[in-house]
Structure 1
Amino acid sequence: MHYSDKIYVAGHRGMVGSAIVRKLEAEGYNNIITLSSRELDLRNQLAVAEFFETEQPGYVFLAAAKVGGIVANNTWRADFLYDNLMIESNIIHHAYKSGVKKLLFLGSSCIYPKLAPQPLKEEYLLSGLLETTNEPYAIAKIAGIKLCEAYRDQHGCNFISAMPTNLYGYNDNYDLQSSHVLPALLRKFHEARENGDQEVTIWGTGAPLREFMHADDLADACLYLMKHYNDRSPINVGVGEDISIIQLAEMIKALVGFKGRIVLDATKPDGTPRKILDVRKLHSLGWRHKISLQEGLQQVYEEFVTMRNAERSEASSPFTIEHSPKSVA
C-alpha cells in the first residue's frame, strides 16, 4: 500500500474508524476517502454500488457497524442483525465488483461461543452456542467473516478479517443505554462524584473477566495487518490480558476520585463468564499493543471531562447549536 493509494475507511466517524484515519494520516497516507451516513447510507445497495463505481478505492478498512453494549444488543436485536448484514454485504460485494486490491473486515470477539475454552483461539469459531444477549450482532459479524472467505475462494479477492477484543478510546459512546461497559462505568462514576452520590450500581456479579484494548492500538494493528497479513482465516487482535468487571470498576473509581461504595446488581445479566483472545498468531507476525489499560483510561477520562465541559458551555450559550445525529456507520 503506497502513500498515494486511494483508501476508503468505512465508519470513519466512529471510535475505531476515526482511530484508523488518524493512524493513516500520521503515517503519511494522503488519499483517504471518508463519507458520513448523510452522504452515503451503507445499508443502501444502490448508493454503495454508485460510490464504489465512482471512487474506485484501492484499499478498504471496513470499520462501519451498528455497535453497542449489552443493553443495546439485547434490546434492538433486529436492528443489530439487519443493519450490520446490509453494511458488510454491500461493501464487501462492491469492493469485489470494483476491483479493490485488499479489504480488511473488522469483526468482534463476540463471534466465539459463550463457553469456549479460554483464551479464545481463531479455530473456535462456530464450535458452540453464542452468548444470547449479543447473538444477532455476533451472527452478523460471522457472516462478514464468511463473506470475506467466500469472495476469496470464488473470486480470488484478498479480503482479510480481524477479530478485535473489547475496545475503548477517543470518540467513544457514553450513552448509558447503548454504550459498552468501560465508557458506561466512566460516566457513572464521574456523575456520581459530581452529584455527591454515596454509591454506584453496576450490572451483574462483577466476576466476568474481560480484555480491553485502546482503539489507537487497534488502528495500529489494522495498518500492520493491511501491510503484512494475507491469510484466509481470521486473526485475533488483543492484548492477551484480562481483568474482572469489579476490578475495572475499582480502577475507574480511583481514577475519577469517587469516594462512595460499589453496589453489584446480581439480578442483571453477566454475559459471557470470560472473554480473552489468544493473540499468539498476531504476536508471531511481530505486532504487540503499546498502550496499557491504566494509561488508556487516563487518556479517555481526560477526553470525557473535556467533552462534558464543552457540552455545558454550549448549553449555557444564548445561541442555538445544531447537533448531527449519530451515524450507524
Structure 2
Amino acid sequence: MVGSALVRKLEGEGFSNLVLRTSKELDLTDQRAVATFFENEKPEYVFLAAAKVGGIVANNTFRADFLYENLMIQNNVIHQSYLHGVKKLLFLASSCIYPKMSPQPIKEEYLLSGKLEPTNEPYAIAKIAGVKMCENYNLQYGCNFISVMPTNLYGPNDNYDLNTSHVLPALLRKFHEVKIDHERTGHSKPVELWGTGEPRREFLHVDDLAEACYHLMQTYDGNISLNIGTGNDLSIKELSGIIRKIVGFKGEVIWNRDKPDGTPRKLLDVSRINSLGWSYSIELEEGITRVYKDHFLK
C-alpha cells in the first residue's frame, strides 16, 4: 500500500528512473540478494517501506515472524545503503513503537519512555531498531538517513483479509459483506465487531503519507524521527458509524467484549512536521468513501 502510493507520487512529480522490486523478485531478508541488488542498481535515494505488517491478530499470532523478518529487512537495506553511498534514505517506522500508556498526543521524544502494547511488541521492537539504526548510522558514519512514524494508514492496495488486516479495512469488509448477503438472501445478520469500541485511533490516507515522505526527502536532514498524521482521532465506535453510513448498512451491530481492544489511545503530535511545511489534505470520510468505491463497488 505505502510503496505503491510512493510510486504514484514520484511518477506524478515526473520521476521515471525508479528502481522497483516486488517481494517475489527480491527477498529483502536475504543478505546476499540485497547486497547484489545494491551493487547492480546503485540507487541514490531509498524509501524503505517494505515490512511484514498486520493487525492485532496477525501481530499477536506471528510474533517471531514479525520480529525476525522486519529486523532482517531493515538490517540488510540500511546497511547496504551505507556501504553503497546512498545519498538519502527514508525509513518508515510506525506509531505503534510508542509506549502503550503514552501521554496524548504523542510527541516524538516519548519513544522508549514506557512499556509497549503486548500484542504488537515484537513488531514495535523491530521498528524501534530501524529508527535507531538510522540515527546511529548518521552519528557514526555521517549518513543522511531519516525515519518517520506514520499513524494508522488506509487507501488503495490495502489488506482486506480479516485475519491479518488493520481495523479500518476490516470494518469496511465486514459491513460490505453482511450488506451484500442481506441483499442476496433477504436475511439480515448483525455485524460483529471486536472489543468495546472505545479505543481511539487516528487515520491517514496513504496518498497524504506519500506527500509527506516526498516533502521530507526534499527538505529534512535532521536526526530526529518525525510523526506523520492528521492530529485528529476518533473512537472505533465512531469510525464504525462512518463506515456503516458509507456502506449503507442498516442492520444491527454487536460488540464482542471478549476480544481485545489494544492500546486505549494513539494520537500523534504532528506539530513538528506541520512546522516543516506539511499537513494532511484528505478528510477521513472523503478518503474512506473513495476507498470503498474503488475497492468494493468496481
Quote the Cα distance in structure 1 between the aligned partners of 2:139 and 2:217.
19
- Aligned ranges 1:211-222 → 2 under 5 Å: 211-222=202-213
- Number of matched pairs: 293
Conservation of the 8 A alpha-carbon contact between 1:221 and 1:287: yes
Q: 201, 226, 232: which one pairs with 1:241?
A: 232
Q: SS where residue 68 of structure 2 aligns?
A: helix
* Alpha-carbon separation, structure 2, partners of 1:175 and 1:95: 33
Letter in 1 for 2:78: I
Structure 2 equivalent of residue 259 of structure 1 = 250
- Residue 208 (structure 1) aligns with: 199
| Pair 1:47-2:38 in alignment | no
Q: Which runs of 4+ in 1 moved over 6 A?
A: none
**TM-score, L = length of structure 1:** 0.88
What is the aligned-residue identity percentage?
64
CA distance in 1, matches of 2:29, 2:10: 25
Counterpart CA distance in 2 for 1:261 and 1:119 is 33
Amino acid at match of 1:206: G
User: Residue 77 of structure 1 corresponds to which residue in structure 2?
Assistant: 63
Which residue of 2 is the match for residue 109 of structure 1?
Answer: 95
Contact 1:198 1:259 in 2 (8 A): no
In structure 2, the residue matched to 1:276 is: 267
When the two chains are superposed, the root-mean-square deviation of aligned CA atoms in Å is 0.7
Contact 1:120 1:275 in 2 (8 A): yes
* Cα distance, 1:198 vs structure 2: 2.9
Stretches of structure 2 that go unaligned for 5 or more consecutive residues are 183-187
Any idea what SS the aligned residue of 2:148 has? strand
Counterpart pick for 1:294 among 272, 281, 285 = 285
Q: Distance in 2 between matches of 1:279 and 1:261?
A: 36
Could you give the per-residue CA deviations for residues 247-287 of structure 1, whole angstroms, max 9, x where no partner exists?
A: 00011011101111111111111000000000000000010
> Which residue does 1:146 correspond to in 2?
132
Q: Distance in 2 between matches of 1:268 and 1:305?
A: 27
> What is the TM-score of this pair, normalised by structure 2?
0.97
Q: How does 1:6-21 map to 2 (within 5 A)?
A: 15-21=1-7
Which secondary structure state, in structure 1, belongs to the residue aligned with residue 91 of structure 2?
strand
The residue number in structure 2 matching 1:223 is 214
